[in-house]
Amino acid sequence: MDEPVQVFAASPPKRARIEIIPLIDVIFFLLATFILFTLSLQKSGGLPVSLPKADSGEGRIAEDAVTVTLTREGTLAWDKEPVTLDEFIARLQAYKAIEPDPKILLNGDEDASFVQARYVIDEIRKAGVNKILFETKLKPK
Task: List the chain pLDDT tens, one digit each, 141 residues.
Answer: 567 766 666 677 788 887 888 889 999 999 999 888 877 666 666 666 656 666 666 666 656 788 888 888 888 888 888 888 889 889 888 988 888 888 888 888 877 778 888 888 888 888 888 888 877 776 666
**Chain centroid to CA 16: how far?**
44
Please report, for the chain, the start and end positions of each structural domain, with discontinuous segments joined by +.
Answer: 53-138
The sheet with strand 103-108 has its strands ordered as: 81-83, 76-78, 66-70, 103-108, 131-134
Using DSSP's 3-state secondary structure scheme, residue 105 falls into strand
Q: C-alpha angle 50/53/58, rounded to 5°? A: 115
Q: For the CA atoms of 26, 31, 37, 41, what is the dihedral angle to 10 degrees?
A: 160
Q: β-strand 81-83 against 76-78: which pairing, if any?
A: antiparallel
Amino acid type, 135? E
pTM above 0.85, yes or no: no
For domain 53-138, give its CATH number from 3.30.1360.30, 3.60.21.10, 2.40.10.340, 3.30.420.270. Answer: 3.30.420.270
If phi > 0 it is left, if psi is from -120 to 50 it is alpha, else beta; for residue 79 that is left
